[in-house]
Amino acid sequence: MNINNSAPNHYKIICLGCRADVSAAGYVLRCDCDNALFRTVYQDDRLVNTAEESMWRFSAWLPTVDKLPTRGRSVTYKSETFARELGLKDLFISFNGYWPEKNAFLETCSFKELESPPTVQRAVENKVKTLVVSSVGNTARAFAHTVSTTSTDLKLVLVGLESAMGKLWLPEPPSENITLVVLQRGNDYSDAIALGNRLTALPGLTTEGGAMNVARRDGMGTVMLEAAVTIGRAPDHYFQAVGSGTGGIAAWEAALRLKHDGRFLEGQLPKLHLSQNLPFAPMFSAWNSNRRTIDPSTDMRDAKKSIKKLYADVLSNRNPAYSVKGGVFDALKNTRGQMYAVSNTEARRAACLFEDFEGIDIVPAAAVAAASLMQAVANEGIDDSDVVLLNVTGGGLQKLKEDKPCYEIKPDIRIASPDVDLTELRDVVS
Ligand SMILES: *Cc1c(COP(=O)(O)O)cnc(C)c1O
């Protein structure tokens, strides 16, 4: 491993496999020892909330030294009408999107924008020149927004899909530091990931790392921190729709830190209720068979066909952080958690109800989570006095479109397959 110049001092990074301290290793995602995630250990084990108007209010528990300017943060509020409809007394909504009346300013309208500022900042601090992000939508938009609204020198290579170009737009002109590589029709998200990984063979290019990246997870962990601070305690239940599983792991890790602090959480960790969209629900299938590994032939049968049918296509990850040590399986076990599978019809119905009662549009993945909460209530899985947190992972798109202009990110090159000869791409991406 490369030892970088200066190790940070308000946190350490530990490998959960061999317990090695990898803090000084730079922008590295895993060590050779094991199939394990890294985890940040912060010097301050009491939660500090500076009341700054951005996610950086929790910078003592974010793995960067400096703070990239952003207005974005997670917003928690108490639901009245949707809660009454469900018969819950203490339902809190974590709203992650655009809703100015609630002080919610994630302008790409999803919680991926809680991951991009700390990740970009951490990449810069570790002397990364070009960050590679494979995404069919929200992740690409979040990273592009962060790079386009700050004066960072970091270059960004986005690997996207021709079939998803309609989603690649920003509320501001895209930065010249962004290069968009597009895979032509017939390719899917896994092909974009495969090409993204191959690109890192080129000098100066580094893959952002997804769930393996502590900056992404701790950025998303601010959802739980914000909720604890607003409610005055950690919730008993946490509901979220999962694709890669990053957000679920992050909620668990944030809860572990809160437990260590002791002021917001004394008893049991918040129970994770994680949901997927049928007919593609690999983690639901593996978990319900009590398996630590996803078996493609049973848990992802007809993957390509199933993915095409999804209402919430952002949940179509075929390689989630499920079995890895410190991943979703461990998070569910440790929190006595549960997986849900939600049909398109249930999700659409939940979206209508939520929008009617709460007065804001939500994205399909958030509707999947809302539908899972309705399932849990129907199955009497929740006491009506329990404190429940529903993570609305994206919303306010309609509102944003009324308020802001829309700039497309234009492809710099189109590629037929991820097996392309890299020399064809070298000049475009460097
Ligand atoms: C990515 C995403 C999810 C799933 O989150 P993971 O961390 O990948 O499991 C849920 N909702 C929205 C809106 C997303 O963009």
> Does the C-beta of 79 come closer than 6 Å to ligand 1?
no
Residue 90 lies in a domain: yes
Domain of residue 412: give its range: 112-213+406-429
> Are residues 236 and 271 both part of a single domain?
yes
> Are residues 92 and 177 both part of a single domain?
no
> Does the C-beta of 241 come closer than 6 Å to ligand 1?
yes
Tell me the per-residue pLDDT of 21-71, one tens digit each, with 9 for 90 and over: 999 888 989 888 878 999 999 999 999 999 899 999 999 999 999 999 999
Whether pLDDT at 2 is above 70: no
Whether pLDDT at 7 is above 60: no
For 85, the token pair is: 């409809």
- Please return the burial class of 190, using the count of CB atoms within 10 Å of its CB with bins 0-12, 13-18 and 19+: middle
> Does the C-beta of 138 come closer than 6 Å to ligand 1?
yes
Q: Which of 98, 138, 143 to mutate to test the pocket of ligand 1 (most atoms within 8 A of CB)?
A: 138
> Are residues 165 and 257 both part of a single domain?
no
* Confidence at 206, pLDDT banded by 50, 70, 90: very high
**Residue 247 Cα, ligand 1 centroid: separation in angstroms?**
7
> Are residues 183 and 99 both part of a single domain?
no
Instruction: Decide if 342 contacts 368 (C-beta within 8 A).
Output: yes
**Residue 355 Cα, ligand 1 centroid: separation in angstroms?**
19
**Residue 194 Cα, ligand 1 centroid: separation in angstroms?**
20
- Determine the Cα–Cα distance for residues 223 and 114; give it in Å rounded to an integer: 9
Number of domains in the chain: 2
Torsion of CA 308, 310, 312, 316, to 10 degrees: -60
> Are residues 373 and 384 both part of a single domain?
yes
> Are residues 138 and 235 both part of a single domain?
no
> Does the C-beta of 135 come closer than 6 Å to ligand 1?
no
**Residue 70 Cα, ligand 1 centroid: separation in angstroms?**
20
**Residue 424 Cα, ligand 1 centroid: separation in angstroms?**
32
**Residue 312 Cα, ligand 1 centroid: separation in angstroms?**
10
pLDDT, mean over the chain: 94
> Are residues 127 and 235 both part of a single domain?
no
> Does the C-beta of 245 come closer than 6 Å to ligand 1?
yes
> Does the C-beta of 216 come closer than 6 Å to ligand 1?
no
Tell me the per-residue pLDDT of 283-337, one tens digit each, with 9 for 90 and over: 999 999 999 999 999 999 999 899 989 999 999 988 999 999 999 999 999 999 9
Whether pLDDT at 264 is above 80: yes
Whether pLDDT at 390 is above 90: yes
Q: What is the pLDDT of residue 30?
A: 87
**Residue 200 Cα, ligand 1 centroid: separation in angstroms?**
24
> Are residues 255 and 193 both part of a single domain?
no
Residue 61 lies in a domain: no
Q: What is the pLDDT of residue 134?
A: 94
* Confidence at 430, pLDDT banded by 50, 70, 90: confident
Tell me the per-residue pLDDT of 227-236, one tens digit each, with 9 for 90 and over: 999 999 999 9
Whether pLDDT at 8 is above 80: no
Tell me the per-residue pLDDT of 113-136, one tens digit each, with 9 for 90 and over: 999 999 999 999 999 999 999 998
> Does the C-beta of 134 come closer than 6 Å to ligand 1?
no
- Determine the Cα–Cα distance for residues 390 and 366; give it in Å rounded to an integer: 9
Residue 18 lies in a domain: no
For 369, the token pair is: 């989570």
**CATH number, position 395:** 3.40.50.1100
Q: What is the pLDDT of residue 241?
A: 98
CA 272 → CA 20, 102, 170, 305, distances in Å? 28, 26, 32, 29
For 109, the token pair is: 């309208």
Nearest atom of ligand 1 to the alpha carbon of 211: 7
Q: What is the pLDDT of residue 190?
A: 84
Closest C-alpha to 394, from 94, 151, 136: 94
**Residue 245 Cα, ligand 1 centroid: separation in angstroms?**
8
Residue 8 lies in a domain: no
> Are residues 117 and 176 both part of a single domain?
yes
Tell me the per-residue pLDDT of 332-345, one tens digit each, with 9 for 90 and over: 999 999 999 999 99
**Residue 323 Cα, ligand 1 centroid: separation in angstroms?**
18
Whether pLDDT at 1 is above 60: no
Q: DSSP letter for 88, please.
A: -
Residue 368 lies in a domain: yes
Residue 33 lies in a domain: no
> Are residues 136 and 122 both part of a single domain?
yes
Whether pLDDT at 420 is above 50: yes
Q: Which of 110, 277, 313, 328 to mutate to test the pocket of ligand 1 (most atoms within 8 A of CB)?
A: 110
Instruction: Decide if 41 contacts 13 (C-beta within 8 A).
Output: yes
Mean pLDDT of 164-190: 93
Nearest atom of ligand 1 to the alpha carbon of 245: 9
Residue 208 lies in a domain: yes
Average the pLDDT over each of 3-7, 182-186, 244-248 and give the range with the smallest value.
3-7
> Does the C-beta of 347 come closer than 6 Å to ligand 1?
no
Residue with tokens 């270059």: 155
> Does the C-beta of 94 come closer than 6 Å to ligand 1?
no
- pTM for the model stands at 0.96
Q: Which of 106, 363, 393, 400 to mutate to test the pocket of ligand 1 (most atoms within 8 A of CB)?
A: 393
**Residue 1 Cα, ligand 1 centroid: separation in angstroms?**
31
Q: What is the pLDDT of residue 35?
A: 85
> Are residues 135 and 269 both part of a single domain?
no
Q: What is the pLDDT of residue 179?
A: 97
Q: What is the pLDDT of residue 4?
A: 44
User: Sign of the CA dihedral 218, 223, 224, 228?
Assistant: positive
The gap from C-alpha 258 to its chain's centroid, in whole angstroms, comes to 20
